[in-house]
Amino acid sequence: VGTGGFLIAGIHKLRSIFADRGFRFDKLRDLVRDVVDVNYFGIDFNPFLVKVAQMNMVMHGDGSSNIIHANSLINPELWEEMNTDLKIGDFDVVVTNPPFGTKALIDNSEILEKFELQTYESASPRNSLPPEQLFIEQCWRFLKPGGLMGIVLPDSILSNPGLEWLRKWIL
């Protein structure tokens, strides 16, 4: 979730839609908060960014209770902090800017073995993968059938000849 920029942009759009329908300030504020509290969620591995996003959400329409500190690459059933029954396949829309450009690779076998990408078009399981590659599959899993995903990715995923296998998986 970072600082919550995508969620806040969604709140502004939601507020604009309700304002165009003639809702006044008090009703508008309550309506936006009700929708956000039930439908907007954010996850970040960095506890400081979770606090920043929560504060930004409070300042822009609440929803702060749905911002959690967790490793979004693991199964949501393991997210103890989140007081919800959300599961893989529960989301209509996922928007994200996953961490990339870092030298850190995911090499935890307990995480990797949950991903089809670990073995897709490979003679043997991959021992490590960049987080942005795993985020593609995890975000896909979060979506309901017919859901929409907006994801910021490095150009290399779309152009590097060595990542043709990943583009095939995406297609």
Rounded mean pLDDT of 120-132? Answer: 91
Selected residue with higher pLDDT from 80 and 75: 75
- d(CA 137, CA 96) in angstroms, rounded, equals 12
The enclosing H or E element of 158 equals: helix 155-159
In the predicted model, is pLDDT for residue 72 greater than 70?
yes
pTM value is: 0.83
What pLDDT, in 10s, does the model give residues 16-35?
Answer: 999 999 988 888 888 988 88
Report pLDDT digits (tens) over 32-58: 888 888 888 888 889 999 999 999 888
Band the pLDDT of 94: cuts 50, 70, 90.
Answer: very high
Beta bridge partners of 31: none
Residue 85 — pLDDT band, cuts 50, 70, 90?
low
Lowest mean pLDDT among 15-29, 88-102, 118-132: 88-102
With tokens 């030298």, the residue in question is: 103
Q: Is residue 103 very low, low, confident or very high in pLDDT (cuts 50, 70, 90)?
A: confident
**How confident is the prediction for the chain on average, in pLDDT?**
87
For residue 89, CA distances in Å to 25, 156, 159 come to 34, 27, 29
Lowest mean pLDDT among 12-16, 36-40, 84-88, 95-99: 84-88
Estimate the crossing angle of helix 5-20 against helix 47-60, to 10 degrees: 10
| DSSP state at residue 85 | -
